[in-house]
Chain A
Amino acid sequence: MRRLGGKRAIVTGGGSGIGRASAIRFAREGAAVLVVGRAGNTEETAAAIREEGGIASALITDAAIEENVAAMVARCVSEFGGLEIFFANIGVTGTNTPLLEQTIEEWSEVYRINTISCFLAIKYAGRHMTAQRYGSIILTSSAASLRANAGAISYSASKAAVNNLAQTAANAFAGTGVRVNAVLPGLVETQLTRKVFEDARARGVEAKLGHVTPMKRPGRSDEIAAAAAFLASDDSSYVDGQLLSVDGGVSSTHPYGRIAL
C-alpha cells in the first residue's frame, strides 16, 4: 500500500512500540516521517526506515512541552516541505497507588504527557493544517479510557480526556479539511506494558494475557499501526472525531473475568 505517497508525518513516541511500528508503516506507505522521542532509540527507528529505502529523520525531544511541539512542526515543514499527518502517541502509565493516597504530582505528570501533549499536537499541527485546509491528526487513547480496571486510574482518566479532545477538536476544525481521530489500543506489549508481560512470563502465565478479550490474545504494535495508517490516509476521509477501538473486542463486550496482573 502506498496510500501516503508524498505526505509528511510526525510520529511522537516513535522510538518503540506503537510509535515505532506506525512510523515504519507510514514510511512503507510512502510518507516522509519525522520520528520524535525522548530516548536514543528514536534514531534507531529512523535508521530502520532509511535502511529499507524510506525517508525519515529523528528528533529527540519531550513532545509534551509547548516550544518543542512548535519546533517539531517547523522542523518537519522545513526538512520535508510540509506536514499532513501528526500521530500524537506519547504516553505514560500512572501508578497503582491506592486512589485515596494518590498525589497531584502524579496526576499532573500523567495528564501532561498523555493529554496536554495531544492538545499541543492539535494546536501546532492544527495551525499548519487548517491553513493548508488538509490534514489528519491521530491521538493515541486506550481501551482503559472507556472502562475501569484496564489501567491505572490517572491513566484511564487522562485517556478519557483524549477521547473528548478528539471529538471537540474535530468539531472545532469543522469546515477546515482537518480531521482528528483517536485510536484506542487494548493490551499491547510496549514500553508502557512491558512489566505486565515480563511478570506474566516469569510466572508462566503468558498465555493468559489478553484472555478477557473475545480474541483471547494481546494485540501487536503493527496491528495498531495499521489502524493509524488507515486514519492517516484518505481511506478514512469521512471518518472524523471517532474513537477507533483496536482491542480484540474487549470494549465491545462484558469481560469474561478479571485479568490477573
Chain B
Amino acid sequence: MSLRLKDRVCVVTGAARGIGLAIAERFGEEGGRIACVDVSARRLEPAVAELKSKGFEARAYEVDVAKRDDVHALFARIESEFAAPVAVLVNNAVWARFDPLAQIEVETVDRMFAVGVHGLIWTTQAAAPQMERRGGGSIVNLSSVSAFNPAKDSIAYSALKAGVVGLSRASAIELSTKKIRVNVIAPGMIGTPASIAQFDEATIATRQAEMPAGRFGEPEEIAALAAFLASDDASYIQGAVITADGGWTIPAR
C-alpha cells in the first residue's frame, strides 16, 4: 500500500465503529494521522487503541458535532495537538431512527438533523480555514442511496441524506476557490452489525438477491472509496456523488 495520505491530518467523525472505524484504519494504512471523533469517548477508546496497536498515529476526541462552539474548539485542539492543520475531513457521524410517518417525533427529527446536517455545517466551517492555510484539502461526506431511492420508514432519513448531497455540492462551489474538494459517498447496504441488526434473515436474503453484487458491502469497501476521494488521486473530482451499493439501485423494480 502506498502512502497517498502521508503526514496528512485526517478527521473522521463517528470513528468508533463500523464504516467510520474502517475509514480511520484505511487512512492509517495510507500514512494518514488520524483524529478519531465520536460522541462517546468510552466507545472510542478501544477503537483508537486498536489503531495505535497497528502502528498508526491516532488520537481520540469526544464531541457532539451538533454543538457549533464545541466543534470549533475541537478543531483548534486537533490542529494544536497534531501541530498541523487538518487536511482531510470525513463526515460519517449519524444518528437515525426509522419510523412510519405518523410516529415521527419532534425529538427524533431534531436530533437526526442536528447530527447529520447541522453537524456537517459546523465541521466544514471549522475545517475549511485550516485546509485553506495548508493550501487545500478534501472533505468526504457520507450520504446514502436512501437520498435517491428511499426505503420503507425512511422519510426523515432520506431527507437527511438528500440534505447531505445539497450541502456538499453547495460547499464544493464555495470551497473550490480555496482548493478544497467536497464529495459524497452514497453507500447501499453495508454489513455493519448495526445495519444487519435492523433486518430479519428473510429480508437480508431478499435484499442481497436484488443486488448485482449479490451481497452486502463491507465497511472496508467504503473506506477504500473514501481513501480515493481523500487523496490526490481524486484531484479533479469535485461535488461528485459516488454510489457504492453493489449495483443495487441500477435496475428499475
Of B53-61, B118-126, B241-249, which stretch is located at the interface? B241-249
CA distance A236 to B223 in the complex (A): 10
One digit per residue, 1 when the CB lies within 8 angstroms of any chain B CB and 0 when it does not, for chain A 158-180 equals 00000000011011011100010
Q: Is B250 an interface residue (CB 8 A)?
A: yes
Residues of B within 8 A of A245 (CB): 237, 240
Q: Is B234 an interface residue (CB 8 A)?
A: yes
- Does A252 contact B233, Cβ atoms closer than 8 Å? no
Q: Is B239 an interface residue (CB 8 A)?
A: yes
One digit per residue, 1 when the CB lies within 8 angstroms of any chain A CB and 0 when it does not, for chain B 203-223 equals 000000001111001100110
Residue among B169, B225, B245 making CB contact with A252, cutoff 8 Å: B169
Most chain A Cβ neighbours within 10 Å, of B217, B239, B251: B239
B233 CB, min distance to chain A CBs, angstroms: 4
Q: A235-B228, A241-B250, A249-B176 are in contact. Are A1 and B1 (CB under 8 A)?
A: yes
- Does A170 contact B250, Cβ atoms closer than 8 Å? yes
Residues of B within 8 A of A123 (CB): none
CA distance A174 to B212 in the complex (A): 4
Residues of B within 8 A of A251 (CB): 239-240
Q: Is B227 an interface residue (CB 8 A)?
A: yes
- Does B238 contact A237, Cβ atoms closer than 8 Å? no
CA distance A242 to B148 in the complex (A): 14
- Does A216 contact B177, Cβ atoms closer than 8 Å? yes
Q: A215-B176, A245-B237 are in contact. Are A253 and B169 (CB under 8 A)?
A: yes
- Does B240 contact A238, Cβ atoms closer than 8 Å? no
Residues of B within 8 A of A167 (CB): 250
Interface residues of A in 16-36 (CB under 8 A from B): none
Residue of A nearest to B211 (CB): A174
B249 CB, min distance to chain A CBs, angstroms: 8
- Does A175 contact B225, Cβ atoms closer than 8 Å? no
CA distance A113 to B19 in the complex (A): 41
Q: A171-B212, A215-B176 are in contact. Are A242 and B239 (CB under 8 A)?
A: no
- Does B245 contact A238, Cβ atoms closer than 8 Å? yes
Residues of A within 8 A of B169 (CB): 249, 252-253
- Does B240 contact A240, Cβ atoms closer than 8 Å? no
Most chain A Cβ neighbours within 10 Å, of B172, B233, B234: B233
Interface residues of A in 215-230 (CB under 8 A from B): 215-216, 219-220, 223-224, 226-227, 229-230
Residue among B218, B225, B236 making CB contact with A223, cutoff 8 Å: B236
CA distance A167 to B248 in the complex (A): 11
Q: Is A244 an interface residue (CB 8 A)?
A: yes
Residues of A within 8 A of B217 (CB): 238
- Does A252 contact B238, Cβ atoms closer than 8 Å? yes
Residues of B within 8 A of A242 (CB): 242-244
Residue among A175, A229, A253 making CB contact with B172, cutoff 8 Å: A253
- Does A170 contact B244, Cβ atoms closer than 8 Å? no
A161 CB, min distance to chain B CBs, angstroms: 16
B181 CB, min distance to chain A CBs, angstroms: 8
B224 CB, min distance to chain A CBs, angstroms: 4
- Does A220 contact B173, Cβ atoms closer than 8 Å? no
Q: Is A247 an interface residue (CB 8 A)?
A: yes
Residue of B nearest to A184 (CB): B240
Q: Is B17 an interface residue (CB 8 A)?
A: no
- Does A238 contact B221, Cβ atoms closer than 8 Å? yes
- Does A248 contact B240, Cβ atoms closer than 8 Å? no
Residues of B within 8 A of A215 (CB): 176, 236, 238
Residue among B177, B211, B235, B245 making CB contact with A226, cutoff 8 Å: B235
Q: Is B68 an interface residue (CB 8 A)?
A: no
- Does B237 contact A240, Cβ atoms closer than 8 Å? no
Residues of A within 8 A of B213 (CB): 174, 238, 240
Q: Is B4 an interface residue (CB 8 A)?
A: yes
Interface residues of A in 48-102 (CB under 8 A from B): none
Residues of B within 8 A of A131 (CB): none
Q: A170-B212, A226-B235, A229-B233 are in contact. Are A238 and B244 (CB under 8 A)?
A: yes
CA distance A39 to B208 in the complex (A): 45
Residues of A within 8 A of B244 (CB): 236, 238-239, 242
Q: Is B195 an interface residue (CB 8 A)?
A: no
Chain B contacts to A: CB under 8 angstroms: 1-2, 4, 169, 172-173, 176-177, 187-188, 211-214, 217-218, 221-222, 224-225, 227-228, 232-247, 250-251
11 more CB-based (< 8 A) A-B contacts, given A170-B247, A236-B228, A247-B237: A168-B250, A170-B250, A174-B214, A214-B176, A237-B224, A238-B245, A239-B244, A240-B245, A240-B250, A244-B237, A246-B234
Instruction: State the 6 A-B residue pairs at the shortest beta-carbon distance, nearest first.
Output: A252-B239, A249-B238, A174-B212, A214-B176, A240-B247, A235-B224
